Amino acid sequence: MMIEILIAVALVGALVTFVAPNRIAGKLAFAISLVPTALSLWLFAAFDGSGNALLDGELAFESQAAWLEIGGYSISWFVGLDGISLPLVVLTAILCTLAIVSSWTPIDERESQFYGLILFIEAMLIGVFSALDFFLWFVFWEAVLIPMYLLIGIWGGPRRKYAAIKFFVYTNVASLVMFGSFVSLVFGLGDSVTSFGLPEIASAMLAGGPEGFFGLSGTTLASLAFIGMFLGFAVKVPVVPFHTWLPDAHVEAPTPASILLAGVLLKMGTYALLRFNFTMFPDQVEAYAVPIAAIAVISVIYGAMLALAQTDLKRIVAYSSVSSMGYVILGLVAYTQFGVGGATFQMVSHGLISGLMFMSVGVIYNATHTRMVTDMSGMADRMPIAVGVLIAGAFGYMGLPLMSGFAAEYFIFFGSFGSELLAYSAAFTSLAMFGIVIVAGYLLFALQRTVFGPYNLETDYEVGRAPVHDVASMIVLLGLIITLGVAPDLIFTMITDAIDPIIQGGGL
């Protein structure tokens, strides 16, 4: 019941906020969003699951209710959490609350609609991470698009219309490709599945895979479905060459939407890859490991090089997300405990760090009305605390020890270097490690020009300190980043517990 309450609070809260007057909408949405945050932390404390949700694990907070049966397949409301999904649910709840706080300053029109959409997106995101029935999961997965489209389209920057429709079309077409592949796969499994429940489909896949469909052999169908779904999720992640929607969406989106986009929406793609491709198709993972690893490394390097070439702070952070998501893919394809576990850890860690980075850029933009590196210098002089947190976040990005980024990247490299499944794993890992050098390069270069040196910004108004609520939410995020960096076992234990059944205890 707890997951239902979590989703229902956010949904009802969205409706209430939508009809509330603009004046109080921000504070009201914040108050409402504290409930899911508190509940998700309670779920975290009371978590009693073990194993993987799809592979006969003990689910926590499971609940299932029949919904519909048609043509021999049943569809049900089926939710539950395991060690992979729980950290992401907590991340979603916390980031949504902080995104609401960070909207107080920049959002000054149609507030009730804005905060209503944020709460709606929160409900749908929690649904994505907890749903265990394909149909239900797909409903949540697609329902995230509409509020994000409107958030970018209504409150975005000058090119918001183009960015919003590009985001919608890219991700929607990708979803349809993935959807078609998965439905064909389910029909190909024949009588061995009688529902769209993901655990049932996963065990049928591992017990022998599809029998074939439309004259395709079972193996061909499985490979085609694997490729189709990989492409579908790859757009969401995004990996090179499907990344072009991301910088547009990020740059035009209002800061709070960017926080959610980088912090949680990108994780939907990697989460789905882990849940579907890397859990249900071990044979295909082995067969396609090298091309996937190549895509991952290209994303790491190319994303970082693109970031190096930008002069807009927000674009820099946006492209660096492409690079960070490349690490996640590399960890997944390594198929070792540390590789896949580290990838999952990186999802949480990158959610926190990129959230912090977008928040800092937003705070600077609110005060200066520019994001161009070339326009400003010496910001540390005017907003010392905010800039301090920004620098700390940047070091987190670069993988400074005792911050979560270090733990995540260390796990991934450790896991992928010795991977037995991935050929040339040492070469791929070494290449990907080079990405860190570029990350350090562009972040330090950008910081050096913007925050250090003599204060110089031509404005006809006084640039003051950052508002207390913004600084407070940045400090909360920084605290979480350091906590996870110092004690990764807080979540890494439950992650590996859920990962082990996938890789059957192999690897390092």
Partner 1 sequence: MAVFQLPEWAALAPALILAGTALVLFLFDSINPRSTNRPLLAGTAVAGSLASLAVAVWFTAAGVGATGIENYGVVDVMNGQFIVDRLALYFMIIISIVTALVAVASYDYLRDHTYQAEYYSLVVLAATGMSMIAASNSLVTIFIALELTSLPSYALVAILKDNRGSVEAGLKYFLIGALSSAIFVYGISLVYGATGSLQLEAIAANLGAAGEMGGLLGLGILMLVGGVAFKTASVPFHFWAPEAYEGAPAPISAFLSSASKAAGFVLAFRVFTTAFPLEATTAVIGVDWTVAFVILAIVTMTLGNFAAATQENVKRMLAYSSIGHAGYVLIGLAALSTEAGDLVMGAAMMHLLVYGFMNTGAFLFVALAEYWGVGPTFADYNGLSKQAPFASAAMAVFMFSLAGVPPFGGFWSKYLLYTETVNAAADNTVLLVLAAALVVNSALSLYYYSRLVKALWIEEPILDRDRLTQPTGLYAAIIAAAVMTVVILPAFDPIATAALEAAAAVVG
Q: Contact residues for partner 1 (CB under 8 A)?
A: 18, 67-68, 70-71, 73, 110, 113, 124, 135, 138-143, 145-146, 149-150, 153-154, 160-161, 164-165, 168-169, 172-173, 176, 180, 183-184, 187, 213-215
Q: Which residues contact 35 (CB under 8 A, 6 or more apart)?
A: 9, 13
Smallest distance, Å, CB 375 to partner 1? Answer: 28
Helix (H, G, I), strand (E, B) or coil at 133: strand
In this complex, which beta carbon is closest to partner 1, that of residue 161 or of residue 369? Answer: 161
Smallest distance, Å, CB 297 to partner 1? Answer: 32
Give the DSSP per-residue string, 441-483: HHHHHHHHHHTSSS-B---SS---PPPHHHHHHHHHHHHHHHH
Which secondary-structure segment (H or E) carries 58? none
Residue identified by tokens 């995230």 is: 144
Q: What is the DSSP letter of 312?
A: B
Helix (H, G, I), strand (E, B) or coil at 53: coil
CB 232 within 8 A of CB 174: yes
Burial zone of 231 (CB within 10 Å; 0-12 exposed, 13-18 middle, 19+ buried): middle
In this complex, which beta carbon is closest to partner 1, that of residue 22 or of residue 50? Answer: 22
Smallest distance, Å, CB 361 to partner 1? Answer: 24
Q: Single out the residue of 332, 192, 336, 321 nearest to residue 245, CA to CA.
A: 321
Smallest distance, Å, CB 154 to partner 1? Answer: 6
Smallest distance, Å, CB 175 to partner 1? Answer: 9
In this complex, which beta carbon is closest to partner 1, that of residue 196 or of residue 397? Answer: 196
In this complex, which beta carbon is closest to partner 1, that of residue 21 or of residue 464? Answer: 21
In this complex, which beta carbon is closest to partner 1, that of residue 180 or of residue 282? Answer: 180
- The H-assigned helical ranges of 372-467 are 384-398, 404-417, 425-450
In this complex, which beta carbon is closest to partner 1, that of residue 139 or of residue 391? Answer: 139
Q: 195: which strand partners? A: 74
Burial zone of 191 (CB within 10 Å; 0-12 exposed, 13-18 middle, 19+ buried): exposed
Q: 70: which strand partners? A: 73
What the block records as the tokens of 143 is 């329902």
Q: 63: which strand partners? A: 79
Distance, CA of 434 to CA of 65 (rounded, Å): 49
Q: Which residues contact 265 (CB under 8 A, 6 or more apart)?
A: 125, 144, 148, 236
Smallest distance, Å, CB 139 to partner 1? Answer: 4
In this complex, which beta carbon is closest to partner 1, that of residue 135 or of residue 319? Answer: 135
Smallest distance, Å, CB 182 to partner 1? Answer: 10
In this complex, which beta carbon is closest to partner 1, that of residue 169 or of residue 426? Answer: 169
Distance, CA of 476 to CA of 466 (rounded, Å): 15
What the block records as the tokens of 496 is 């590996």
Smallest distance, Å, CB 64 to partner 1? Answer: 15
In this complex, which beta carbon is closest to partner 1, that of residue 92 or of residue 113? Answer: 113
Smallest distance, Å, CB 130 to partner 1? Answer: 15
Smallest distance, Å, CB 469 to partner 1? Answer: 27
User: Peptide bond before 36: cis, by omega within 30 degrees of 0?
Assistant: no
In this complex, which beta carbon is closest to partner 1, that of residue 93 or of residue 186? Answer: 186
